[in-house]
Structures are given as structure tokens and as C-alpha cells.
Amino acid sequence: MATVFFTGFPGFLGTELLPRVMKRQATGVTATCLVQSKFKALAQSRADELSKTHPELAGRIRLLEGDITRADLGLGDTQELREEVIEVFHLAAVYDLAVRRDLAMKVNVDGTRYVADFARACPHLKRFHYVSTCYVSGKYAGAYTEYDLEKGQEFNNFYEETKYLAEVEVQRRMREGMPSTIYRPAIVVGDSATGATQKYDGPYFVVQWLLRQPGMAVMPVVGDPRRTRVNVVPRDFVVNAIAHLSGLERSLNKVYQLCDPNPPTAQQMMDVIGRATGKNMVRLPLPTWLARNALAYGPGVYKLMKIPAEALDYFVHPTFYTCNNTLADLEGSGLRCPSFPEYASRLVNFMREHPEISASAMV
């Protein structure tokens, strides 16, 4: 029996991607999801939900308890499974800007290496699909294309560094002949139609700070907000794009930056968020070093604002992402990245209605 192997289920992207990928599979093909033991109950619940909303998936989602940080993926003998696998979608990663380097190396680098080794050992493998990030660019200043990777860049944090090192591993295997496609999303936010998300980070840090203030709200501003661009993409665009591109023969051995081709400046983004939250903002320009140190070390500052110091780097980010491969291969599909103003109010409304969601990563 043929199967599509997923990591990262029941995560933010994996849960939505699975049914979209399975739509283009033959009826007899199953989905096999590698799931950490501590997320088994949640994974089963989401698999059951998918089987109800997508009846064609009933009985076709198999959950296997495992661990990408182990060489055998925590599965022991994988020979029988490897004979079944026709595609691998590797989404599992630790997404936390403040992550320790040892944990990030273990999950993002070692985990990717082990999943790629597993994929390479599958005799019927058609494609290894790897979800990377635009921020493998680190602090690179200027235009960063889908053909760029190793540019001598420095990194803002261990998340960026380890996702870069992981993609280096994948691209090496791709050059050695493993059929692969790499997807680099920008900052992923909630669904553009519903606002739904599983985690509040990125621009949500600004939203929550404004929502907790009265009508006239103070907003610290770093860098040059008229020049710095903040690239965010809604979840539905990312998963729909991956689902479409992954089914194309011409996507073989390509890299796709799933980003906004015309991202807003930091000032434009704050203006949009201000209107969506109904706040009149008083902007308080601050040197980046002062704002970062205040959030990291100032008594009570983080507790008051709930904006991590690490998030400031993305409001002074020097990189502009091009996405020529993405635009070319999505042409005619009806898929495009909506502009931030088109859906920002839905993100804000969802955040108002769901205060129970946090900024914590699934690890």
C-alpha cells in the first residue's frame, strides 16, 4: 500500500496541508504521520476531525508514535514502511526565536538529517518536500533570491541558524540526486479568511500590546519604519501553494520563497494594525539597542509589553525576498498571496475572540 509520510502533524501548517495533499492522491494511498507521544491524543483528535470534514480521508490517516531526533525516527525497523512511502513532507521543527542552540540543533538540524536519510532510503520515493523558511537569509542585506543560500550571512538567533544548516543538508542531498522541493515561507500568520491560528507571534506581538491599551496607544518604533519591510503570509496561502507546487513535475529540485512580493513597510503595517484595532497610535522612536535591552533586561518591561526582545529584529530586517519561481509556477492556479491590509482585521478579530491562545511553540 502506497503512503505519503508527514512530519509536523498536528501542527499549525501540517494539519491544513495534509487534506490538500491527499486530494491529488489515488484513493488507495494513505497518509502516515509521525507524531510525538505527547501529541498523540491531539493528533488523533485532529485526524478524527479531518475524517469528518473530509469523508474521503476516513480510514486513510495512520498515526505512528516516533521522534525525528532519533536516527531510526523512533520507529525501530522501518523497512516495511520505507517500501510504502512515495512522498515525504517534512514540516516538523522548533519555531521559537528564543530557542536554545542545543535544542534547535537537535530538532531542526539532526531531525531534518534523519528524516532526509529515511526518505533517501525509500525505494519508491517520488519527492522529498522540505519546509524551510525565508529567514535562512539571516541578516543578509539586500535582495535574497530562491537561488541564494550560502551568502556568508550572520543570524539573529538559533532558529534562523539551524534552519539554514538544515536546508544546507537538504540542498546537498538534492545535488546528490534525491528528488526534492524546498519551500521557504516568510512569517506565517493566521488564515486570511477566518483569522484562525494556533500561535500568537510575529505581528501579533504588536496587536496584543495595542489591544491592552486605551484608545490612545503608545507604540515604540525602532529603525526606519518607512524603509524596513515586514513580510508576512497567511497560512491558507502557504498550505495551498505547497499543495499545488508539490504536485507539479516542474517543481522538482526547485526552491520556492512563499512570501508577499510587495510587502508593507513597518510603518504601513503598524498603520493597518492601528486601524484594525481601532487605536490611535502615538509613535515613540527608540534606538533598536535601547528597545532590545529594555525588553530583555528592564525590570517589568517585558511583563508589561509582552513583546520578546528577539521579535524586534524583524522590524529592522534588512532583507528583501524575491519569489520568481513561486510567481511563475503558481500562474494560472488562481493562487496569490493576499496583501496584509486585505485580511489584517480578521487576524485581530480572531485574537480578540481567542485570548486563550499563546505565543508558545509546539516542541
Give residue 178's pLDDT band: very low, low, confident or very high (50, 70, 90): very high
CA angle 192, 196, 200 (to 5 degrees): 105
* 257: pLDDT strictly greater than 90: yes
Q: Indicate if 200 and 86 belong to the same structural domain.
A: no
Q: What is the pLDDT of residues 220-236, one digit of tens each?
A: 999 999 999 999 999 99
DSSP 294: H
Given a cut of 90, whether residue 360 has pLDDT beyond it is no
* Torsion angle in degrees (nearest 10) through CA of 255, 256, 261, 266: -90
Spatial CA neighbour of 112 closest among 8, 184, 22: 8
- Segment 27-35 shows an average pLDDT of 96
Dist CA 207 CA 21 (whole Å): 32
Structural domain span for residue 221: 192-231+263-319+341-353
Helix axes 204-211, 266-277, angle to 10 degrees: 40
What is the dihedral sign for C-alpha 126, 43, 93, 143?
positive
Residues 143, 250: one domain?
A: yes
Residue 95 covered by a domain: yes
Going by C-alpha positions, the residue among 94, 63, 117, 103 that lies closest to residue 361 is 94
pLDDT tens profile 261-299: 999 999 999 999 999 999 999 999 999 999 999 999 999
How confident is residue 214, by pLDDT bands cut at 50, 70 and 90?
confident
pLDDT at residue 323 in the model: 98
Residue 54 lies in a domain: yes
Q: Is residue 333 included in any domain, yes or no?
A: no
- For residues 92-96, average pLDDT: 95
Q: Is 361 contained in some domain?
A: no
Q: Does 27 reside within a domain?
A: yes
What is the tally of structural domains in the chain?
Answer: 2
- Supply the pLDDT for residue 149: 98
The share of the chain scoring above pLDDT 70, in percent, equals 99
Phi and psi torsions of 180, nearest 5°: -140, 160
Q: How far apart are CA 154 and CA 75, in angstroms?
A: 36
80 shares its domain with 65: yes
Is 360 a member of any domain? no
Examine the domain organization and report whether 104 and 223 are in the same domain: no
Identify whether residues 249 and 278 lie together within a single domain.
no
Within this chain, do residues 119 and 241 fall inside the same structural domain, yes or no?
Answer: yes
Which of 258, 274, 294 is the last residue before a domain boundary?
258
Q: Same domain, yes or no, for 178 and 131?
A: yes
107: its cell numbers: 530538532
CA distance 117 to 77: 14
Find the CATH number of the domain harbouring 19. 3.40.50.720
Tens digit of pLDDT for each residue in 134-148?
A: 999 999 999 999 999
The answer, yes or no, to whether residue 107 has pLDDT greater than 80, is: yes
Rounded to an integer, the average pLDDT of 2-6 is 99
The pLDDT value recorded for residue 215 is 83
Whole-structure pTM value: 0.96
pLDDT value at position 362? 63
Whether 331 is in a domain gets the answer no
